[in-house]
Structure 1
């Protein structure tokens, strides 16, 4: 059982790494900056693969009434905005910077849980939120490759992600094909979605969060070697602060508080 979980975790990390590196290569190196067109390709391929998986019995798709589908419309709008803004941001920002800004969505989710769902928040989680905010807030002033458009789209992206996960009820198990909310090939998007669902179904929230954190670390680290990234000591400090914040978030999830 432990070996199976490790295999699922490693598969998820591999898909996560390939997903972001491929996206960055297409969006930045090849200069393919047409998110709407890429989104259509992603949806077509992902939909076909999902249908094949359903026919083979690998995925379960429950039928829904028209009224149920109408309730998904607000989430669908946020979902499209999340993908579009994420792809525009990733085309202009380094992957470590993008992931650090993306983590601020966790702050929105935590704030909603605290204010509206009245969930108890542990000191570790509060420190995590503060570190994530501080890291993202300091980045624009210390990023030697600062791009105002990239940060603008990143802000829209993280608000779409935060609102989508904290406020709206949306069938992510079956329709969430874009982890990290940016354009990708249909195949990578689908297999990452599939491995994410498998990861969450087999592991406790703390273990799942640890694997996601590990995937982000290796993706950010390898991207620095593969793409033209300029990191000053101040930028590295912001990234490390964001990493510390997410590590505390993983710790709070594993403790179940």
Structure 2
């Protein structure tokens, strides 16, 4: 039914926006900038809930064998880099600018594919890639609240997303679905982030965090973990019922909604050149979706 598809899309958009806003609140407003603990908590709860839902039969998950999991570990490492660097970047960069930089991950994917699989150049896709790249390059020069470390982490975030996208499409084992992939990502992330918590100083820093006993902080952390898991379920549900093109449209609309609402929720300095970078980048993303009529990068 058509209304069920629209309901899944609106549910996805709602969870997407609220999830990003919750993470931004914890990272920027409360200033809990300890990504090994923050992301470790999210992935731990995600892993527990996913395994529990699979055990109860509420989601369809096949048994993950060692032969299937081992080839996926490079992607899991990229996933950890993605969420770790993303947390660092989101804590210091406003949501509209964060999404503008995140769009340039398509440039990374495009370059990797061109190096590995040489093919015919599509003019419209090339224009869209150029628009997103130029916007990302010029944004640091236009951002009134430019933070060098935030943008440096954003570069790592973009590189990991771009490489992960290529790996997911072209190198994933055929017997791993989206939920199985994410389960491996969660378990690997929990292990790696737990090991890294002490050497990075996050564990000691968190013990001195001023909001550690705050009810708001505890509710925010629980909400962020639950919303991350719900976003996974909403994403899988939406992908299963829609084409690649329509899923991309819902993701695009969700990002635009988050960008439009974020100035009403969080304080941010806006300049005309920075807004132009945001708009041009998302025009480029729209052109990319238009050029990608088939399920490809």
C-alpha distance in 2, partners of 1:228/1:176?
Answer: 33
> What TM-score comes out, normalization by structure 2 length?
0.79
Q: How does 1:6-45 map to 2 (within 5 A)?
A: 6-45=6-45
Deviation at 1:186, TM superposition (A): 1.6
| Counterpart contact for 2:244–2:294, Cα < 8 Å | no
| Counterpart contact for 1:144–1:230, Cα < 8 Å | yes
C-alpha distance in 1, partners of 2:52/2:77?
Answer: 26
Q: Which stretch has the larger CA shift, 59-68 or 4-13? A: 59-68
Deviation at 1:125, TM superposition (A): 1.4
State yes or no: 1:187 paired with 2:226. Answer: yes
Match of 2:197 in 1: none
Task: Return the match for 1:173 from 172, 178, 183.
Answer: 178
Deviation at 1:203, TM superposition (A): 0.8
- Closer, same or farther: CA 228–172 of 1 in aligned 2, 3 Å: farther
C-alpha distance in 2, partners of 1:252/1:5?
Answer: 23
- Deviation digits for residues 27-55 of structure 1 (CA, Å, limit 9, x no counterpart): 00011111111122112211121123213
- Deviation digits for residues 167-193 of structure 1 (CA, Å, limit 9, x no counterpart): 364557124389xxxx98221111101
C-alpha distance in 1, partners of 2:124/2:2?
Answer: 28
Q: Which stretch has the larger CA shift, 242-251 or 94-103? A: 242-251
- Closer, same or farther: CA 83–172 of 1 in aligned 2, 3 Å: farther
Q: Who wins on radius of gyration, i.e. which is larger?
A: 2
Match of 1:100 in 2: 100
C-alpha distance in 2, partners of 1:164/1:256?
Answer: 16
Match of 1:123 in 2: 123
C-alpha distance in 1, partners of 2:290/2:107?
Answer: 16
Task: Return the match for 2:245 from 206, 209, 234.
Answer: 206
Give secondary structure in 2 for the equivalent of 1:72. Answer: helix
Q: Which stretch has the larger CA shift, 184-193 or 20-29? A: 184-193
Match of 2:265 in 1: 226
Deviation at 1:62, TM superposition (A): 2.0
Give secondary structure in 1 for the equivalent of 2:292. Answer: helix
Give secondary structure in 1 for the equivalent of 2:31. Answer: coil
Indicate the RMSD between aligned Cα atoms, in angstroms: 2.1
| Counterpart contact for 1:131–1:242, Cα < 8 Å | yes
Match of 2:216 in 1: none
Q: Which stretch has the larger CA shift, 22-31 or 69-78? A: 69-78
Match of 1:78 in 2: 78
| Counterpart contact for 2:83–2:157, Cα < 8 Å | yes
The alignment covers a number of residue pairs equal to: 253
Q: How does 1:146-165 map to 2 (within 5 A)?
A: 146-165=146-165
In the alignment, structure 2 segments of 5+ residues that lack a partner are 186-220
| Counterpart contact for 1:206–1:254, Cα < 8 Å | yes
C-alpha distance in 2, partners of 1:241/1:200?
Answer: 27
In the alignment, structure 1 segments of 5+ residues that lack a partner are none
C-alpha distance in 2, partners of 1:120/1:61?
Answer: 38
> What TM-score comes out, normalization by structure 1 length?
0.91
- Closer, same or farther: CA 194–120 of 1 in aligned 2, 3 Å: farther
| Counterpart contact for 1:105–1:161, Cα < 8 Å | yes
